[in-house]
Amino acid sequence: MVAISVYRYGHRLNRDKRITTHTALVARAFGAREIVVDTRDEGLEDTVRDVNERFGNDFSIETGVSWQQFRRRHDGAVVHLTMYGQPVGEVIDDIQGHDDVVALVGSQKVPGRFYGIADYNVAVGNQPHSEVAALALFLHFLTDGGWQHRRFYGIHRVVPQRHGKKVVERDYAELLRDAGCPPAVIEHARRVQRLAVAIATCIRRRGVDVDMATVKIGAMLHDLGRAETQDIMHVPAGISLAQEYGLPDKIVRVIERHAGAGIDRAEAEKLGLPPGDYMPRTIEEKIVAHADNLTGMEYRDVDAAAEKLREAAGEMAAGRLLQMHRELSELCGQDVGELL
């Protein structure tokens, strides 16, 4: 699959907000991995990141990057979209031979030098129209229509309707299946999710702010890396997969920090994990880590969970688990074990 970046030249803060947003959304929807914009625009970045958060994808946006800066770190074949170029149908086979393509679109008049710099000047019809249309059609050609099969794993899933609108909360078991997790892992994840949601609900009733979506999705996906391996390396594997699927950072952190009752730097080194500590910090991370400890294929009480962790990781880890149990039980106003 060709890696596609879009560079947006000539973005004007006072005039182009809407059309550059649309250019970015078209890039995201039709298969590009990033858009880079010459003029700094934080509002534009926020809008695109918000769409990423809700609808998924690892699409990235960066603004305030000059063409020269961009080219210093990016050497893909440059395709300048312009009504004066060669017809897209005539050059697309050639362009598809590159692994890395930069689609350059203008807004105001694009300086003449770009026509020389570009590896290809490509016209989507020789009539003047719009960067949004030109980019959409070019990406359709470039991916051979393959953009239609790209999966997005955002919190919201649109269910296509003949009439009306239907948006449902995503069932992330689907992602576990797509990644190749064994059925037992998915069943375990569902149990962890049930318990984690019960703990979060209990804590929220006592007026503590808990992000339920993070708990729900994090609990379902904490073992995503088990699609690749069943040992402790399922943690870094899960982090990489989650990033590939474009999941929000807060979910990636839950995956990173769910194992045991946290893994400190020294333990991580001993285990051969990539350097760093893997300790749960936010309330959501702690809830998922603890719900996982209290769940195998069946639920287990805290003493059994501590004993299991003591055998696997030693006294200190078991102590951390008991401490986490006390902390969450206090926030809950009752022993978390009673929620099992």
Phi and psi at 85, nearest 5°, equal -85, -165
Residue in 197, 325, 206 with CA at minimum distance from that of residue 261: 325
Minimum CB separation from ligand SAM for residue 126, in Å?
A: 6
For ligand SAM, the closer CB: 81 or 332? 81
For ligand SAM, the closer CB: 105 or 309? 105
Question: Residue with the closest Cβ to ligand SAM?
Answer: 106
CB of 307 closer than 8 Å to CB of 301: no
For ligand SAM, the closer CB: 125 or 276? 125
For ligand SAM, the closer CB: 110 or 339? 110
Minimum CB separation from ligand SAM for residue 133, in Å?
A: 7
Minimum CB separation from ligand SAM for residue 138, in Å?
A: 7
Question: Which residues of the shown chain bind ligand SAM in the complex (CB under 6 A)?
Answer: 81-83, 105-107, 109-110, 123-125, 127-131, 134
For ligand SAM, the closer CB: 125 or 183? 125
CB of 4 closer than 8 Å to CB of 33: yes
Q: Which residues of 180-194 are buried (b: 16+ CB within 10 A; e: fewer)?
A: ebeeebbebbebbbb
Phi and psi at 135, nearest 5°, equal -65, -45
| Structure-token pair, residue 16 | 């182009």
Phi and psi at 40, nearest 5°, equal -65, 130
Minimum CB separation from ligand SAM for residue 122, in Å?
A: 7
CB of 74 closer than 8 Å to CB of 123: no
Minimum CB separation from ligand SAM for residue 127, in Å?
A: 6
